[in-house]
Amino acid sequence: HLPPIYVITPTYARLVQKAELTRLLHTFLLVPALHWILVEDAPHKTSLVSNLLKSSGLSYTHLNMLTAPQRKLQEGEPNWLKPRGVEQRNEGLRWLREDRPSTGGASEQGVVYFADDDNTYSLQLFQEMRSTQKVSVWPVGLVGAMKYESPVVQGGQVVGFHTGWRPSRPFPVDMAGFAVSLRLLLERPEARFHGDAAQGFLESSLLQGLVTVDELEPRADNCTKVLVWHTRTEKPKLKREDVLQAQGQGSDP
Ligand code: UDP
Ligand code: MN
């Protein structure tokens, strides 16, 4: 039987949210033994997300954790200023460690993946990560102002990283570029994301507590295939909507 894949996704309310979550959900429905941990960046669970999950047919856990106001990226601030989704991913980790239904032994089998709500995921990616022993890694497309970033593999071992930016980071990998075994996360209860980590060090802040670079398990044909893309969705323009609104003729909310 397949070890389950636990996918942790932070999400927040904005116009494209339902579209993003629908796209993601329809990918995940095609993956066997997947449990979606969807964590809303909100003071309470919204009915939009609740209804979407209820009618999804997926195995899921619905959580919420509001980003502290001083940590929240404000409208107009450059997006490198503060990391996003940190407290939500940590809340997902807390659920896995403390609240996940467990009978011990075999139920500790599993793989944990952090999937942002706007990226694009190939089904093959989930096959690749399923066999993760400690931490598995692979290339991520369209990230870091490059066509892709990737671990560099020699003789089946990660020996470095193809990245255009701060290669000195302990683990210069994107959030979408690795998966962790559930067992390892349970063995290291202190490991988590540090929201105060310097720019680009968020992934390292978790991975440093789990593995060393030589222990990383390359996937996707020794990191020669791109199976996930760091796509970003354009913010919808509402110029006409705003005009109509001012005339009292805006769309039904
Ligand atoms: N996110 C969040 N709260 C926010 C901003 C973002 O929970 O205030 C989530 C978002 O839905 C996504 C993840 O955090 O799943 C990463 O955010 P984003 O995609 O904006 O980051 P980027 O692609 O710019 O790194
Ligand atoms: Mn994104």
Q: Write the pLDDT tens digit of every residue in 4-51.
A: 999 999 999 999 999 999 999 999 999 999 999 999 999 999 999 999
pLDDT confidence bin for 105, thresholds 50/70/90: confident
ipTM score here?
0.99
pLDDT, residue 209, reads 97
Q: Which numbered atom of ligand 1 lies nearest the CA of 17?
A: 11
Nearest by Cα to 137 from 34, 225, 223: 223
| Percentage of the residues of the chain whose pLDDT score is greater than 70 | 99
| Percentage of the residues of the chain whose pLDDT score is greater than 90 | 87
| Ligand 1 pocket mutation, candidates 116, 149, 228, 233, criterion most atoms within 8 A of CB | 116
**Amino acid letter, 171:** F
| Ligand 1 pocket mutation, candidates 12, 14, 143, 173, criterion most atoms within 8 A of CB | 12
- To the question of whether residue 132 is assigned a binding role by annotation, the answer is no
Q: Which residues, chain by chain, have CB under 5 Å from ion ligand 2?
A: 116, 118
Q: Please determine, for residue 200, whether its predicted confidence score (pLDDT) is greater than 80.
A: yes
If you take atom 20 of ligand 1, which residue's CA is the nearest one? 84
- To the question of whether residue 84 is assigned a binding role by annotation, the answer is yes
Is the Cβ–Cβ distance between 34 and 112 less than 8 Å?
A: no
- To the question of whether residue 14 is assigned a binding role by annotation, the answer is no
pLDDT, residue 24, reads 98
Is the Cβ–Cβ distance between 92 and 37 less than 8 Å?
A: yes
* Ligand nearest to C-alpha 41: 1
251 — phi, psi (to 5°)? -60, 150
The catalytic residue positions are: 203
Specify the 3-state DSSP secondary structure of 91. Answer: helix
If you take atom 23 of ligand 1, which residue's CA is the nearest one? 232
Q: Which numbered atom of ligand 1 lies nearest the CA of 73?
A: 8
Q: Which numbered atom of ligand 1 lies nearest the CA of 41?
A: 7
pLDDT, residue 187, reads 97
* Ligand nearest to C-alpha 8: 1
Q: Which numbered atom of ligand 1 lies nearest the CA of 72?
A: 8
Within 6 Å (CB) of ligand 1, which residues are found?
A: 9-12, 41, 67, 72-73, 79, 84-85, 88, 116-118, 232
188 — phi, psi (to 5°)? -115, 75
45 — phi, psi (to 5°)? -70, 135
